[in-house]
Structure 1
Amino acid sequence: MNTRQPVDARAAALMCGLCALWGLQQVAIKVAAPDMAPLLQLSIRSGLAAILVWGLILWRGEARGFDRATLGPGIVVGLLFAVEFLFVGEGLRYTSASRMVIFLYCAPIFTAIGLHLCVPGERLSLLQWGGILTAFVGVVVAFYGPAGNAPASADQRLGDAFGLLGAIAWAATTVTVRATRLAAAPASQTLLYQLLGAFGLLLVVAWASGQTDFQLSRTTVLSLAFQTLLIAFMSYLAWFWLLRHYLASRLGVLSFLTPLFGVIFGVWLLDETLEPAFVTGALLVMAGIVVVSGHDLFRQHLASRRPGNL
């Protein structure tokens, strides 16, 4: 029986905290990039977090939960997770953290479409399709808008495109989790599959592309600690717990806060500039996310205010 429920106050508060962390994630990677390539950062943090998650699994006695029924989907989500951060790591070499977070967090839009096609009970309404169209218009405006007084460079557009591809991979991961036996598996088990996939694939790609040189500076150590403990371990465990207890498309109503935090942190900590076209596109994307993911919440709120409802 599907016991997932609409977002309540507890889920909303947790999502706000996760959005702040995820918004800072791209900045942390970008800050440490001069001393360690983003791909190598993402691989190392995934490997360290996998060790922590495995320890948690042993402590909880969940190791017996691994079986053939989850192995296939686990391998799939591990590869998808690795591909997502492959695009993030490579994209951050070409575009700003602010732009990356906007394009990456188009994922709720792609997730809603995937769930509409694959999961009964998460069908999209006509209004939600309008929100998806709004978000896609925002993507086009942000992608093709000029950078200041000049057209966007080819490198920037490449980085932006990688962000979008990362969003699609993230959405595919969420849909796979919801549509397979992983939906009933412990969050720690699902996360371990993903972290192992990211660690292995990203390390191979970093080595093959000559991105394994690094300088172990204070900035690098602090960035890796933040990414490992708060992002790859704690925040992802919380995210998968939310996916098990709440409707995935409804959680996205608050995900628009992540790009907002990301842009704020990018401008504040990295002195990144914001072009009018990008700001316009970003606002359209966030508005589309709110419409798509918050449709049911708005409908329930209006229904509760009708005469005769107590």
Structure 2
Amino acid sequence: MGESLRHTSAAHVVIFMYTAPLFSALGLHFKVASERLAPLQWLGILLAFSGIAVAFLGPASETETPDLGSMLWGDTLALLAGAAWGMTTVVLRTTGLSRLPATHTLMYQLVVAFVVLMIFSIWQGQTTFNPTPAVWASLAFQSVVVSFASLLLWFWLLKHYLASRLGAFSFLTPLFGVALGAWLLDEPIEPRFLLGALFVLTGILLVSGYTTVQQALASLKHRAGPKTT
């Protein structure tokens, strides 16, 4: 995800990153009997990946960056990050990690990430550190809020609730990402990307919010049914 932000917009990254529930739902479908996908969820999978295809393969517009190749590379990295995140959920649910305390799981992930990212930064020559106030504030936020508090809470939730239902709570994040990218960063919202994003978000809603959607449809069906006297 960090590398993808060097090549594409924040709005693109947040949409492709939050395809993670789709990948986790697909993985858990084959590994956990209680999380089998229903027909409506398969429709969501189809819609979401159709949206990804539209965002990647649709005709370019005049508002898009002239370096289209770099943008597509960044989009690809963001999508791979989403897939990796989704597979992390599958591993946490289907291995011995599910029986460990959330603090242990978090520590394992942070230690491995530290080693891998340190090697990658040396390989890429990204070892320069410019200690400005903005950098320190960003580092503090990423370390305390993102890498510690939010992940600790997420791992705890995974041990107590179905992963497919938890994904519904992250549905608003892509919407905020696109809106804030346009507002704070002046990022253009390309028509093809917007269409693809709508397909992706609809698919995520059907997959992750299946229970809620099913209840809403049942309620509508009940209201539309014949009234008895």
Q: State TM-score, norm by structure 2.
A: 0.90
Q: CA deviation at 1:98?
A: 1.0
Give the corresponding residue for 1:21: none
Aligned to 1:255: 170
Contact 1:139 1:281 in 2 (8 A): yes
Number of residue pairs matched? Answer: 220
Q: Deviations over 1:136-184 (max 9, x none)?
A: 1111111223553167711100000001111111111100000012112
Deviates more, 1:194-203 or 1:296-305: 296-305
**What is the alpha-carbon distance in structure 2 between the residues aligned to residue 268 and residue 301 of structure 1?**
33
Asked if structure 2 preserves the Cα contact closer than 8 Å seen for 1:107 and 1:170, the reply is: yes
CA deviations over 1:223-257 (Å, ceiling 9, x no partner):
11111111111111111111111100111123221
TM-score for the superposition, normalised by structure 1: 0.67
Give the drift of 1:298. 2.8
SS in 2 for 1:143: helix
The one-letter code matched in structure 1 to 2:141 is F
Residues in 1 aligned to 2:55 and 2:112: alpha-carbon distance in whole angstroms: 31
1:75-114 map, 5 Å: 88-114=1-27
Contact 1:145 1:152 in 2 (8 A): no
Match of 1:120 in 2: 33
Which range moved further: 121-130 or 257-266? 257-266
- 1-structure distance, mates of 2:69, 2:205: 31
What is the match of residue 169 of structure 1?
A: 84
The equivalences for 1:58-77 within 5 A come to none
Give the unaligned 5+ runs of structure 1: 1-87
Q: Distance in 1 between matches of 2:81 and 2:178?
A: 18
The answer to whether the 8 Å contact 1:254/1:290 transfers is no
Correspondence for 1:129 among 42, 47, 51: 42
The 8 Å contact of residues 256 and 286 in structure 1, kept in 2 or not, is answered as yes
Give 1:158's aligned amino acid.
Answer: W
Whether the aligned pair in 2 keeps the contact of 1:146 and 1:275 (CA below 8 Å) is: no
Give the structure 1 partner of residue 226 of structure 2. Answer: none
Q: 1:278 to 1:173 in 2, by over 3 A?
A: same
- Equivalent residue number for residue 292 of structure 1: 207
TM-aligned CA deviation for residue 300 of structure 1: 4.0
Partners of 1:295 and 1:182 lie apart in 2 by 26
Contact 1:115–1:122 (CA<8 Å) still a contact in 2? Answer: yes
CA apart distance, 1:273: 1.2
More displaced stretch, 217-226 vs 258-267: 258-267
Residue 304 of structure 1 deviates from its aligned partner by: 7.0
Contiguous gaps of at least 5 residues in structure 2: 224-229
Q: Take 1:137 and 1:256, find their aligned partners in 2: how far apart are those partners?
A: 18
Structure 2 distance, partners of 1:304, 1:145, is 37
Cα distance per residue 1:26-79 (max 9 Å; x no partner)? xxxxxxxxxxxxxxxxxxxxxxxxxxxxxxxxxxxxxxxxxxxxxxxxxxxxxx
Task: Determine the structure 2 residue equivalent to 1:209.
Answer: 124
Aligned to 1:234: 149
Q: For residues 251-308 of structure 1, what are the alpha-carbon distances to aligned partners after superposition, in whole Å with 9 as ceiling and x for unaligned?
A: 112322111111122222222111111111111101000011122233345557859x
Distance 2:94 2:57 in 1: 35
- Quote the sequence identity (%): 53
